[in-house]
Amino acid sequence: MTHSGVPMGFWGDQRALVTGGAGFLGQHVVERLRRSGCKSIVAPRRSEYDLRDPLAASRLYEDTEPTMVIHLAAAVGGIGANLERPAEFFFDNLIMGTQLLDQAWRHGVPKFVAIGTVCAYPSTAPVPFREEDLWDGYPEETNAPYGLAKKMLLVQSQAYRQQYGYNSIFLLPVNLYGPGDNFDLHTSHVIPALIRKCVDAIARGDTEIVLWGDGTPTREFLYAEDAAEGIVLAAERYDSSDPVNLGSGEEISIADLADRVARAVGFKGRVAWDGSKPNGQLRRRLDTEKAAARFGFRARTTFDEGLQRTIEWYRDSFPTTTGGTP
């Protein structure tokens, strides 16, 4: 048995293709697959296969002959990046997912694991978000193009299962964080951005950092290693196109998050809020019971533990970085 309780035999027989395998979440998924006994893992680079190109997607399957596809490749970013590049986030995510799933079916790949996003949920969805509420409204405007593009993978998964009997699954993770995250302030999500701002402020001797919005929205965060465990468990044990949430179940306000990051980093200055910038969706927290029931996943890393590991990784990786891009 592996550490997560997954039989070694299942993964020992698989040839896993992980798109986006060199990215933040992808690196954790590849490591989890290795620990689960998978000896054949392909993580293609964009320079080799531009997944927006249908010929490249077909060639990828012909070259690698996978038995399992875990599709993580995505154009992603925080609120600012979504507002600046909505067309790119819509087209790239939509076309990659659509082509990869279609080509997986055409090439006889036994199973396809599609990764959606919490951004697919309606802006008015009751908290905690239940999978059954996914279609009860339009997503929050600041990231709707991205959320809807990823949501189309669910429609495609269900349609291909209905017409062709094709085995694909669709998972909905919340905001992720952890070692290896993107700390570029122009494109990063809130936790790496906060860590970067606090570390840089200490290095420069600044007494204040400025954050978007007013701090009142809430978010839920899932440690990337936990997310990888949930994805691998679902890939092995779950065989339905009904969507499933992946989360920690812990809701935290952005203001509280900023205080906790500042304390953990050691920044003692003031946190100021720029009310001219958008808050994004008011609240986000997932109902995580279906993941526990369907394939036995529950998050194991506490937020403070995961945050400390993330800060340590950043400081070890970029010990002298202030300003610019790591």
CA distance 155 to 167: 13
* DSSP assignments along 222-261, one per residue: EEHHHHHHHHHHHHHH----S-EEE----EEEHHHHHHHH
Instruction: List for the chain the helix, strand, coil content (%; round to 5).
Output: 45, 15, 40
Sign of the CA dihedral 19, 24, 30, 36?
A: negative
- Active-site choice (61, 121, 146, 177): 146
Sign of the CA dihedral 75, 77, 82, 85?
A: negative
CB atoms within 10 A of CB 159: 13
Do residues 243 and 154 lie in contact, with contact meaning Cβ atoms separated by under 8 Å? yes
Residue 126 has what DSSP assignment? Answer: P
Do residues 149 and 93 lie in contact, with contact meaning Cβ atoms separated by under 8 Å? yes
Do residues 138 and 157 lie in contact, with contact meaning Cβ atoms separated by under 8 Å? no
**Catalytic (active site) residue 160:** no
Do residues 323 and 197 lie in contact, with contact meaning Cβ atoms separated by under 8 Å? no
Residue 42 has φ and ψ, to the nearest 5°, of -115, 125
CA distance 161 to 166: 4
- Annotated catalytic residues are 146
